């Protein structure tokens, strides 16, 4: 059975993944039921999955975890190695790499991979096949780190909290041309761009190598059960009897326009002949801009949408994608799609300005809002990805709810942008009835109320 994939990245919205068969306090039913459900999935994956997991019509996915019988000896080895502290974003990339989201990439990129990604948005494998890879996954180091790593060709990585989490072997060190990296990745070199600021803050060298990770990355933030690996997602799809999976990626809360789009997508898939389409709502789990709503509140809000029945909990999975947000527009949207294809998915619906943001000068959109959709239809290495049509939803004043925009009566519609939505919530105001589930809206109002109290 091929598992299909429809991912929607609409406006500043993104895509999200996570299992849901929820009742009140969780997506698997009760909170206890939810935890037991996730543990059952993970136990099943551990018993049946090897280091390489493959589903129909998907690429092979390899995680980078050290086998249990080698952990002790390699921990001992790590103690003897030079160690570098990695940043929060680097830690999130270790998470991504370790679980196979970037497979077949085997670690932080060496120069040959880096150059291909930077200039071609893809990597040619040894067998001649081309794998889409549009964002550099690299580790910046300083002069002192460079000198120490060159002595052995190996390095141990410490998390931001100081724990040794991985070894990198067969290291290759090369110059970090920060301006070129920014220009090729984002089309601008302005340090006010949030991810370009990360680049400019990094060291003058990049080190790549084969990554070996000791343990699964956990954050102990109450959200780890949402962070299913590609292999665990495949197991959950199979458990639910999915014959296709469609995905809506977000870094924002879900309003009823999003829900209308997702419901419409499912209906379209049923019309195509699928019997049990499963929806994945996949929140970006890594670092986001300071003015984006934090992950915890986004997940709580998504759960409230399910609990109020706006989306069907039996056919909806809510989850967390561990990647940081790059705000790379058409370049980054390829990464979002490629990573989900590694979970065995085939269909992707993309809307206006995926992974976009305003230009750092604030005067215009940084990227052409429709180039993301065009790119996904032509990108090398994404040939097996199918794009489904996207329809724009807005608030229809004549019926008092979200509906698909009808340009013949444009004056009847109100577009409530993410900025406008955040403005309503931060002032404690209520949006028009039918814009968002009331319990879900209250979570946003409470969050902004706490922010105001903290600022005071």
Count, in order, helices (H) and strands (E) of the chain: 14, 19
Give the tens place of pLDDT for each residue, 16-62. Answer: 333 333 333 333 333 334 444 544 555 444 433 333 333 334 446 89
How confident is the model at residue 27, as a pLDDT?
Answer: 39
Res. 452 pLDDT band, cuts 50 70 90:
low
Res. 3 pLDDT band, cuts 50 70 90:
very low
In sequence order, what are the residues at sequence separation of 6 or more whose Cβ sits closer than 8 angstroms to the Cβ of residue 20? 27, 28, 281, 306, 313, 316, 317, 318
Res. 214 pLDDT band, cuts 50 70 90:
very high
Mean of pLDDT values over 305-332: 96
Res. 419 pLDDT band, cuts 50 70 90:
confident
**Mind giving me the DSSP string for 298-330?**
HHHHHHHHHHTTSS-TTSEEEEEE-PPP---HH
How confident is the model at residue 248, as a pLDDT?
Answer: 86
Mean of pLDDT values over 133-146: 98
Give the tens place of pLDDT for each residue, 325-340. Answer: 999 999 999 999 999 9
Mean of pLDDT values over 155-166: 98
pTM as predicted: 0.87
Judged against a pLDDT cut of 50, whether residue 10 lies above it is answered with: no
Q: What are 277's two structure tokens?
A: 């389409």
Within a 10 A sphere around the Cβ of 220, how many other Cβ atoms? 6
- CA–CA distance, 173 with 269 (Å, rounded to integer): 47
How confident is the model at residue 54, as a pLDDT?
Answer: 35
Determine whether 44 is exposed, middle or buried from the number of CB atoms within 10 Å of its CB (0-12, 13-18, 19+). middle
Mean of pLDDT values over 219-224: 96
- CA–CA distance, 400 with 413 (Å, rounded to integer): 10
């002032």: which residue's tokens? Answer: 427
């550099």: which residue's tokens? Answer: 136
How confident is the model at residue 28, as a pLDDT?
Answer: 37
């990695």: which residue's tokens? Answer: 86
Judged against a pLDDT cut of 70, whether residue 8 lies above it is answered with: no
Give the tens place of pLDDT for each residue, 386-411. Answer: 877 678 899 999 999 999 999 999 99
Judged against a pLDDT cut of 80, whether residue 284 lies above it is answered with: yes
**Among 286, 302, 282, which Cα is nearest to 230's?**
282
Judged against a pLDDT cut of 90, whether residue 426 lies above it is answered with: no
- CA–CA distance, 192 with 179 (Å, rounded to integer): 13
Judged against a pLDDT cut of 60, whether residue 126 lies above it is answered with: yes
In sequence order, what are the residues at sequence separation of 6 or more whose Cβ sits closer than 8 angstroms to the Cβ of residue 418? 11, 12, 252
Q: Which helix (DSSP H) or strand (DSSP E) does residue 76 occupy? A: helix 68-79
In sequence order, what are the residues at sequence separation of 6 or more whose Cβ sits closer than 8 angstroms to the Cβ of residue 226? 18, 283, 285, 299, 318, 319, 320
């Amino acid at each position: 059975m091929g598992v299909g994939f429809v991912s929607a990245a609409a406006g500043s919205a993104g895509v999200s993944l996570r299992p849901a068969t929820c009742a009140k306090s969780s997506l698997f039913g009760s909170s206890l039921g939810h935890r037991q459900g996730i543990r059952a999935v993970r136990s099943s994956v551990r018993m049946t999955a090897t280091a390489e997991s493959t589903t129909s019509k998907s690429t092979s996915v390899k995680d980078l975890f050290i086998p249990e019988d080698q952990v002790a000896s390699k921990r001992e080895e790590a103690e003897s190695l030079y160690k570098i502290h990695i940043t929060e974003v680097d830690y999130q990339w270790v998470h991504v790499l370790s679980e196979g989201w970037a497979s077949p990439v085997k670690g932080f990129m060496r120069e040959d991979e880096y150059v291909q990604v930077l200039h071609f948005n893809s990597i040619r494998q040894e067998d001649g096949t081309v794998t889409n890879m549009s964002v550099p996954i690299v580790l910046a180091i300083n002069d002192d780190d460079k000198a120490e790593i060159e002595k052995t060709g190996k390095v141990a990585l410490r998390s931001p909290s100081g724990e040794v989490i991985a070894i990198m072997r067969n290291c290759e060190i090369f110059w970090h041309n920060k301006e070129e990296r920014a220009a090729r990745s984002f089309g601008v070199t302005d340090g006010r761009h949030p991810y370009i600021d990360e680049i400019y803050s990094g060291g003058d060298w990049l080190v790549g190598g084969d990554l070996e990770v000791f343990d699964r990355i956990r954050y102990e933030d109450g959200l780890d059960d949402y962070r299913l690996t590609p292999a665990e997602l495949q197991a959950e799809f199979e458990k639910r009897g999915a014959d296709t999976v469609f995905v809506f990626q977000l870094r924002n809360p879900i309003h009823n326009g999003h829900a209308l789009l997702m419901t419409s997508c499912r209906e379209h898939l049923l019309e195509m002949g699928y019997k049990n389409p499963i929806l994945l709502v996949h929140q970006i789990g890594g670092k986001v801009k300071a003015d984006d709503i934090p992950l915890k509140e986004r997940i709580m809000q998504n759960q409230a949408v399910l609990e109020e029945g706006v989306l069907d909990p039996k056919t909806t999975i809510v989850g967390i994608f561990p990647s940081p947000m790059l705000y790379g527009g058409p370049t980054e949207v390829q990464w979002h799609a490629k990573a989900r294809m590694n979970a065995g998915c085939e269909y992707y619906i993309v809307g206006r300005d995926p992974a976009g943001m305003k230009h750092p000068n604030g005067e215009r959109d940084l990227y052409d809002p429709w180039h993301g959709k065009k790119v996904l239809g032509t990108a090398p290495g994404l040939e097996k990805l199918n794009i489904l049509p996207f329809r724009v939803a807005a608030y229809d004043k004549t019926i008092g709810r979200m509906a698909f925009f009808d340009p013949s009566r444009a004056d009847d519609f109100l577009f409530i942008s993410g900025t406008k939505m955040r403005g309503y919530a931060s002032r404690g105001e209520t949006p028009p009835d039918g814009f968002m589930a009331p319990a879900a809206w209250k979570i946003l109002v409470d969050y902004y109320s706490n922010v105001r109290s903290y600022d005071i």
